[in-house]
Amino acid sequence: MSHSPRCRTVVAGTVLLVPLALGGCGGSSNPLADKPYDATGQVVLSSSDEGQKADPSKPLEVRASGEDRITDVTATDGTGRYVAGELAADGSGWHSTGALAAGAHYTVRVSTEDPDGAQGRRTIGFDTSAADRLLRVNFGPQSGTYGVGQPITAELSAPVQDPAARTVIERALKVDAQPSTEGAWHWVDNRTLHYRPKDYWPVHATVDVRSGLDGIKVAPGLYGGGSKPVRLTTGDRVEAVTDASAHSMTVFRNGQEIRSIPVTTGKPGYATRNGVKVVLGRESFVRMRGTSIGIAEGSDDSYDLPVYWATRVTWSGEYVHAAPWSEGSQGAENVSHGCTGMSTENAKWFFDTIHLGDIVKVVGSAGTTMTPFDNGFGDWNLTWQQWREGSALAAGKRDGSGPADAARLRPQL
């Protein structure tokens, strides 16, 4: 069957103009059995000169002329991401409902049908211009092995407050865990997000973190930039639980007790914080001074001590460390300025056993509860419901429809 050009389909409007030659007047007795003809034609970008890159902030439109109708349109970028769109009920046109990416190459596939049922096909490629402003994401921690309490962080290169923009960002930040684990992002402030599972990470899990923001429109004039992915693996589940009222720490590995240690915690006025903390670092030697926590030099409570085998749990200076000067009080009373002190032997064992991301929990103290975000990783002191309330995705509900489905209209046969 042959076709003579008599009318055309146009990819048009502000982004792309594509005249397509459509089928001739004749038709076979079974047009659906014929091989779709190539609806060739010229390709013109917008109202600009041919070859100029399209503005990604403007919609993509496809229109048919004459009696022909469009039956199917798909538009994808070089990574395979679909552009959501809507086809008119009568097949006269299609327009994008999702934003185009900046600095991307697009492939648009258009299917048409003439009044006799002959099928036409046309594929068009075009490029979008680069973004003026880029939003980059820096993930943390760096790739490596961590304890099961380690949160993931995402630092943005610019503040984002608009709820719609936050939704775009959050949907593009991907966390894939094996074994699969329920988790969510939480907006700490306008530039910082944390991600944690509902419960602690599984032992010996692999967690891949990446951004799909590259080229994606976040807000007017602001597009996502590239980012470096990270891969975390978890070790055993190591938890140190300190009962400040009993002056004792119990260390567990994968639910089994492996050591009980006499300790001393914060005395009245310097009570140790309750709650779950995550190990931030380990320092074999630290010089601790009272002035670092607001104690005036020369006062009765001032101190300046060499401290060994120190495991940090807050940025303000709370550690689990060797305290040979208080061994007589360990297991009996609380005499520290907020740290958890133990013998040098026990502190060295603890230092060698614990790792970044492991869990240090304090109960039974007269102190306040560890804050979630401003002094280390207190993320686990929020309930799961409280954590989810910090997500921009309205409890993560999705409608389940894919962009390809939204972009297509199947002809009735």
Residue 148 per-residue DSSP state = T
Nearest to 365 by CA among 318, 301, 323: 318
Look at the chain and count its residues.
413
**What gap in Å lies between CA 407 and CA 73, rounded to an integer?**
6
**What gap in Å lies between CA 366 and CA 368, rounded to an integer?**
7
**What gap in Å lies between CA 314 and CA 363, rounded to an integer?**
16
Judge whether 248 and 210 are in contact, CB under 8 Å.
no
**What gap in Å lies between CA 10 and CA 65, rounded to an integer?**
7
Catalytic residues: 321, 339
Judge whether 52 and 58 are in contact, CB under 8 Å.
no
- Sequence-distant contacts of 303-307: CB under 8 A, at least 24 apart: 303/337
Residue 16 CA, chain-centre distance (Å), reads: 33
Amino acid at 124: I
Q: Is 292 helix (H, G, I), strand (E, B) or coil?
A: helix
Residue partners of 205: CB distance under 8 A and separation at least 6? 148, 177, 178, 179, 181, 233, 234
Q: Which pairing describes strands 222-224 and 248-253: parallel, antiparallel, or unpaired?
A: unpaired
Name the token pair of 294. 């607001």
Q: How far is CA 298 from CA 269, 289, 302, 323, in A?
A: 18, 11, 6, 21
**What gap in Å lies between CA 190 and CA 166, rounded to an integer?**
9
DSSP assignment of 251-275 equals EEETTEEEEEEE-B-BPTTSPPPBE
